[in-house]
Amino acid sequence: MSPTPGTYDISTGTAEIQPDDLRRDGYLLYVNGVPSSHIVVGEPRELEFEYMRWIAGMVESFVDKPEKLRITHLGGGACTLARYFADVWPTSRNTVVELDAKLGELVREQFDIPRSPTVKIRAGDAREVTDGFLPASRDIIIRDVFSGNTTPKNLSTVDFYRSAHRSLAPGGLYVANCGTHADLKEAKEELAGMAEVFEHLGVIADPPMLKGRRYGNVVLIGSDAPLASTPELNRTLLGGAMPAQFKDDAWVRSFFSGARSRRD
**C-alpha–C-alpha distance, residues 128 and 67, integer Å:** 28
pLDDT of the residue at 211:
86
CB 178 within 8 A of CB 155: no
pLDDT of the residue at 99:
95
Tell me the β-bridge partners of 200. 223
Band (146; pLDDT cuts 50, 70, 90): confident
pLDDT of the residue at 163:
98
pLDDT, tens digit, for every residue of 81-126? Answer: 999 999 999 999 999 999 999 999 999 999 999 999 999 999 999 9
Contacts for 147 with CB less than 8 Å, ≥ 6 apart: none
pLDDT, tens digit, for every residue of 150-182? Answer: 899 999 999 999 999 999 999 999 999 999 988
Residues 231-235 have a mean pLDDT of 95
pLDDT of the residue at 214:
80
The side-by-side arrangement of strands in the sheet containing 168-180 is 119-123, 93-98, 70-74, 138-143, 168-180, 216-223, 200-205, 245-247
Q: Which of 63-67, 181-185, 203-207, 238-242 has the highest mean pLDDT?
A: 203-207
Residues 56-60 have a mean pLDDT of 98
Band (215; pLDDT cuts 50, 70, 90): confident
Give the rounded distance of the alpha carbon of 22 from its chain centre: 24
Which backbone phi and psi does 19 adopt, to 5 degrees? -65, 145
**C-alpha–C-alpha distance, residues 151 and 130, integer Å:** 15
pLDDT of the residue at 127:
98
pLDDT of the residue at 42:
96
Give the rounded distance of the alpha carbon of 205 from its chain centre: 14
The DSSP line for 182-199 is TT-HHHHHHHHHHTTT-S
Residues 206-224 have a mean pLDDT of 91
Q: Is the pLDDT of residue 36 over 90?
A: yes
The DSSP line for 76-123 is -TT-HHHHHHHHH-TT-EEEEEES-HHHHHHHHHHS-PPPTTTEEEEE
Let me know how long the chain is: 264
Using only C-alpha atoms, the chain has a radius of gyration, in whole angstroms, of: 17
79: phi > 0 → left, psi -120 to 50 → alpha, else beta; which?
left
How many H-runs (helices) and E-runs (strands) does the chain carry?
9, 12
Closest CA to 10 of 101, 125, 121: 101
Model-level pTM? 0.96
Q: Give the chain's domains with CATH numbers.
A: 48-255 (3.40.50.150)
Band (9; pLDDT cuts 50, 70, 90): very high
pLDDT of the residue at 213:
77
Q: What is the mean pLDDT of the chain?
A: 95
